[in-house]
Amino acid sequence: MLFTRESGILLPVSALPGRFGIGDLGPGAQAWLDFLAATRTRWWQVLPLGPTGYGDSPYASYSSFAGNPDLISPELLVQDGLLDEAHWQSAPSFPTERVDYQLVHYWKRSLFQVAYLRLRDHAQLQTDFDAFRQEQAGWLDNYTLFMALKDQEAELPWSAWPAGVRDRRPAALAEARQTHASTISFYAFEQFLFFRQWSALRTRAGELGIGIIGDLPIYVSEDSADVWSARELFEIDEAGKPLRVAGVPPDMFSETGQRWGNPLYRWETHKQQGYAWWLARLQAVLSLVDVLRLDHFRGFANYYAIPADEPTAVHGTWEFGPGADFFETVRERLGNLPLIAEDLGGEGEPIVTSLRDRFHLPGMRVFQFAFDTDMDHIFLPHNYPVNCVAYTGTHDNDTVVGWFAKAPENERRFCLEYLNSNGIHIAWDMLHSLWASPAALTVAPIQDFLEFGTEARFNLPGTALGNWAWRLDGDLLTADLAAHIAALNAEGERTYSD
């Protein structure tokens, strides 16, 4: 059993409190860990940590292996002697409730360029940086060259680059590495800073008895170092364009389904290579976190393939994924990994549930999904198996308060009856019910503990822009709130001792 009656709180790093426009790995993150410890909460769940691409989405990253430079703390760079506090005087007037990703990105990049120039004056840091580049060369060389070329080509996707670098012809790549050596080194330096700061934060979490649950998107972005450097592993044509893309078919939530647009895997090629790329990816992410949520787990059993020229997900076909062969290989090569199967959308499909159960992976339950049917619904807490992770809602859901305000009358009535609630504190009524469930791990977004409405929603699936920007006001992390959450953990017998 991966979990033993524990609890967690979901809060993306980008949403942490902080003074520079986005949550980062500095004092705000350390204060968050102290708050978690005061609540006696065992787990902090985050979203993918990679550099965000289209739509500022952590699920559309430029790399499966890299960290997001926007999360680097300027305050920690002052402690390292790479910046002075005076450099902060150039900070724009950042909004406090939402992230302006473009503003953050360009300002922080200017800071990191100063820090990069100062690196030469810090012998030990220079030595550590050189060692980092050597140790991580397997993915870092491709990522840094990819980012340097995106700079050169005015941020165009790699499929629109000149043919020599687009097709990775050796002479063109060698010339690009020489021409862009300084930029490549700078992008490597950003990664060095991210991993250095993340490592220190994770060490602090461990000292407090707090584990970190990470998130691994099943698919990668078309415009990424992953696809550019290993195109044979993806369903793309000679020009770098996808042949078929990922998504889900029409359902009760969408008449046209969801066309995600990610290129699909050539699973037979992955199998022939012993799933080497996937093994490296799993190892890389698990070097950063303690437990890993496998996003869209059902895609390993069967997945929906949409012709790339289709504008919606209406027309597609179901194809078999790698199934048990993939997970047997992972187990043989890496052992029994601490994985959570995000099996939503496949919870009633034997091909999905049998794969999940064969490898004893905890699946997921979402309380908000429980009220559109009857008392036998698998998303009602009294029906949860022990080996599952149960949520009030995930990053893709509205907050509990927001959901309840917009739910159909029959669902609202069922919810109130089930919870024996008057609806005034519907989020906390739902938390108490969830925490009392048999689920080995219960998790809720911090927004639900704060009883926030739709204004605090993090993502609306099916929309490309305007998501991932909500931020937490640090003044709301009070001693009273910590005591309230600690009491909930005690009541649900989910308190841990460090």
24: annotated active-site residue: no
Residue 226 catalytic?
Answer: no
Residue 121: what are its φ and ψ, rounded to 5°? -90, 5
217: three-class secondary structure by DSSP: coil
At residue 453, the 3 state secondary structure works out as coil
Which helix (H) or strand (E) segment holds residue 150: the answer is helix 137-152
Determine contact, residues 234/263, Cβ cutoff 8 Å: yes
User: From CA 463, how far away is CA 451, in angstroms rounded?
Assistant: 24
Instruction: Count CB-CB contacts under 10 A for residue 183.
Output: 16
Per DSSP, which regions of 253-338 are E strands? 258-263, 291-294, 302-307, 317-320
**Nearest 10 degrees: CA dihedral of 171, 176, 182, 186?**
-110
Catalytic pick among 56, 295, 343, 448 = 295
List 325, 372, 396, 451, catalytic entry:
396
Using alpha carbons only, how large is the chain's radius of gyration in Å? 23
Q: From the candidates 342, 343, 347, 398, which is the catalytic residue?
A: 342
- Cα separation, 307 vs 431, in Å, equals 42
DSSP 65-134: S---GGG--HHHHHHTTS--GGGGGG-----SSB--HHHHHHHHHHHHHHHHHHGGG-HHHHHHHHHHHH
Does residue 396 carry a catalytic annotation? yes
Query: Any idea which residues carry the catalytic annotation?
Result: 295, 342, 396
